[in-house]
């Protein structure tokens, strides 16, 4: 019975051209699907330098943080973070665990969570697990958020508002200042996810805008611009203590190996010195947006993440196929990751690309959009 049900569902995915497969990356292709936004994850000089400084690091921690998994390197990493952000820090094994854990540990049926409609799946799952009431505001529409706050601010014990900084699927960006102004007016708890802005904006946009004191839970997943793995949580000591005592996704999992922690520490110590990489990314972003205008392509992006809306799944497949034949590694994104009818080409820029790569790519993309069906 179960297998029959699954086969039927998978066949539906195939009929709607949204059956997912895992593609192996060809190392010779031009990768426009990377989230290594400032090129830290595969900078061979940096990696060589790292291994010169850190030798013979264990490849397993063999225990959870609460048993013997809080080894000195994690301690040092959290202390360094505290020095930077002027608030306690806690290291998680992944951004998904970190987001989920914060929400399910601090929210319950007495909580109202107000979440941007396009927040990441880890945020949505955390809300569902928590049993909190969920209201969603239109993507980045802070006037809509204000209306929801006005109608609900006296009805709940706790209100948590959640936003990302830069959004992964549209490459658009929250008005952080306006969000903080709303917090000052309505006094809710605020959670911000910096997965797509950390490293691109050095220690992140909240740090850059000097508004850390207003962010109750700052999560910094490291698998994108951070060039690594795991996630930082920056929050008050009382919340940190509570998670150490109650956070199931923090307590009941084996800590990441020392080699990953050492790499995070190494990157963090050098973070401010990567301005060349950030400048290159900025240049490529400007060039890309000029080309999008030139070719009249449809995008909501204002940043280094650029989605070009295609809309039709089958057409998207043909465009991706064409671009692959021209040696570009590029991903098409479809529902349910993005709303139905908005399937798209998602481009993640990185300083590993050249202006020439970008110019030729947009030329080919323009050709494919107009000629490939
Ligand atoms: C906004 C956002 N938050 C959290 C995550 C999850 O982070 P991780 O990959 O470290 O689990 C992702 C993507 O992976 C993301 O895009």
What pLDDT, on the 0 to 100 scale, is given for residue 206?
98
pLDDT at 350 over 90: yes
Cβ–ligand 1 contact at 223 (below 6 Å): yes
pLDDT score for 17: 87
Looking at the fold, whether 31 and 156 belong to one and the same domain comes out as no
Residues above pLDDT 90, as percent of the chain: 94
Cβ-in-10-Å burial (0-12, 13-18, 19+) of 282 comes to middle
Q: Where is the domain boundary, 272, 290, 305?
A: 272
Task: Give 127-137 pLDDT, tens digit per residue.
Answer: 999 999 999 99
Residue 277, pLDDT > 90, answer yes
Q: Is 115 left (phi over 0), alpha (psi -120 to 50) or beta?
A: beta
Q: Which domain holds residue 225?
A: 57-272
pLDDT above 80 (res 373): no
Please indicate whether residue 193, judged by its CB atom, sits closer than 6 Å to ligand 1: yes
For residue 98, report the distance from its CA to the centre of ligand 1, in Å.
Answer: 9
112 bridge partner residues: 133, 159
Q: What is the per-residue pLDDT for 372?
A: 80
- Is ligand 1 within 6 A of the CB of residue 203? no
pLDDT, residue 9, reads: 97
Pick left, alpha or beta for residue 287 (phi over 0 → left; psi -120 to 50 → alpha; otherwise beta). alpha
The answer on 244 and 304 residing in a single domain is: no
Per the domain annotation, does 47 fall within a domain?
no
Helix (H) or strand (E) holding 31: strand 30-31
d(CA 108, CA 103): 9
pLDDT at 331: 87
The confidence score (pLDDT) of residue 187 equals 96
18 shares its domain with 99: no
Q: Does 95 sit in the ligand 1 pocket, CB within 6 Å?
A: yes
Helix (H, G, I), strand (E, B) or coil at 356: helix
**Same domain (yes/no): 253, 130:** yes
Which of 223, 305, 307 most suits a substitution to test ligand 1, by most atoms within 8 Å of the C-beta?
Answer: 223
Lowest mean pLDDT among 19-23, 305-309, 326-330, 359-363: 19-23
Dist. CA 236–CA 240, nearest whole Å? 6
Cβ 99 under 6 angstroms from ligand 1: yes
Q: Is residue 362's pLDDT more than 90?
A: yes
Decide whether any atom of ligand 1 lies within 6 Å of the 170 Cβ.
Answer: no
Residues 199, 95: one domain? yes
Q: What is the largest CA-CA distance in the chain?
A: 60
Residue ending a domain, choose from 247, 272, 297 = 272
Q: Return the bridge partners of 137, or none.
A: 116
What domain count does the chain have? 2
Mutation choice for ligand 1 from 33, 36, 96, CB with most ligand atoms inside 8 A:
96
**Closest by Cα among 46, 58, 86 to 269:** 46
**Are 224 and 345 members of one domain?**
no
Does residue 4 form part of some domain?
Answer: no
Which domain CATH number covers 27?
3.90.1150.10
Q: What is the pLDDT of residue 24?
A: 85
Strands 158-164 and 331-333: unpaired
73 and 196 housed in the same domain: yes
Any ligand 1 atom below 6 A from CB of 164: yes
If you average pLDDT over residues 70-88, what whole number do you get?
97
Asked if residue 105 has pLDDT above 90, the reply is yes
- Does a structural domain hold residue 355? yes
- Measuring CA to CA, which residue among 302, 304, 305 is closest to residue 282? 304
The predicted model gives 1-19 an average pLDDT of 95
Q: Are 278 and 346 in contact (CB under 8 A)?
A: no
Q: Residue 23: is its pLDDT beyond 90? A: no
103 and 23 in a common domain: no
188: left (phi over 0), alpha (psi -120 to 50) or beta: beta
Q: Are residues 153 and 224 in the same domain?
A: yes
pLDDT in tens, 216-260: 999 999 999 999 999 999 999 999 999 999 999 999 999 999 999
* Ligand 1 atom with the shortest distance to the CA of 230: 10
């Amino acid at each position: 019975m179960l297998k029959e049900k699954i086969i039927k569902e998978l066949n539906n995915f195939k009929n709607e051209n949204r059956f997912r497969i895992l593609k192996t990356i060809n190392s010779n292709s031009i990768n426009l699907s990377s989230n290594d936004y400032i090129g830290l994850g595969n900078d061979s000089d940096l990696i060589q330098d790292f291994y010169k400084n850190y030798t013979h690091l264990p490849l397993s921690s063999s225990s959870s943080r609460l048993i013997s998994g809080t080894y000195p390197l994690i301690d040092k990493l959290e202390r360094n973070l505290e020095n930077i952000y002027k608030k306690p820090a806690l290291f998680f094994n992944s951004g998904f665990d970190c987001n989920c854990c914060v929400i399910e540990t601090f929210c319950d049926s007495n909580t109202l969570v107000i979440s941007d409609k396009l927040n990441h799946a880890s945020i949505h799952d955390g809300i569902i697990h928590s049993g909190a009431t969920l209201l969603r505001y239109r993507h980045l529409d802070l006037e809509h958020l204000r209306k929801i706050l006005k109608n609900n601010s006296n009805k709940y014990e706790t209100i948590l508002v959640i936003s990302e900084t830069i959004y992964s699927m549209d490459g658009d960006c929250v008005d952080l200042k306006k969000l903080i102004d709303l917090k000052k007016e309505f006094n809710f708890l605020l959670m911000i996810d910096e997965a797509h802005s950390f490293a691109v904006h050095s220690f992140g946009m909240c740090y850059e805008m000097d508004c850390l004191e207003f962010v109750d839970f700052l999560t910094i997943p490291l698998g994108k611009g951070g060039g690594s793995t795991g996630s930082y949580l920056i929050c008050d000591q009382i919340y940190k203590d509570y998670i150490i005592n109650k956070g199931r996704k923090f307590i009941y999992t084996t800590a990441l190996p020392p080699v990953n922690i050492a790499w995070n520490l190494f990157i963090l110590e050098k973070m401010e010195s990567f301005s060349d990489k950030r400048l290159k990314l900025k240049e490529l972003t400007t060039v890309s947006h000029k080309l999008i205008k030139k070719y009249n392509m449809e995008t909501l992006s204002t940043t280094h993440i650029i989605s070009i809306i295609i809309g039709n799944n089958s057409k998207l497949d043909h465009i991706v196929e064409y671009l692959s034949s021209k040696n570009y590694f590029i991903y098409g994104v479809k529902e349910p990751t993005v709303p139905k009818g908005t399937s798209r080409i998602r481009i993640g820029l990185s300083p590993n690309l050249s202006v020439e790569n970008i110019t030729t790519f947009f030329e080919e993309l323009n050709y494919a959009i107009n000629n490939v069906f």
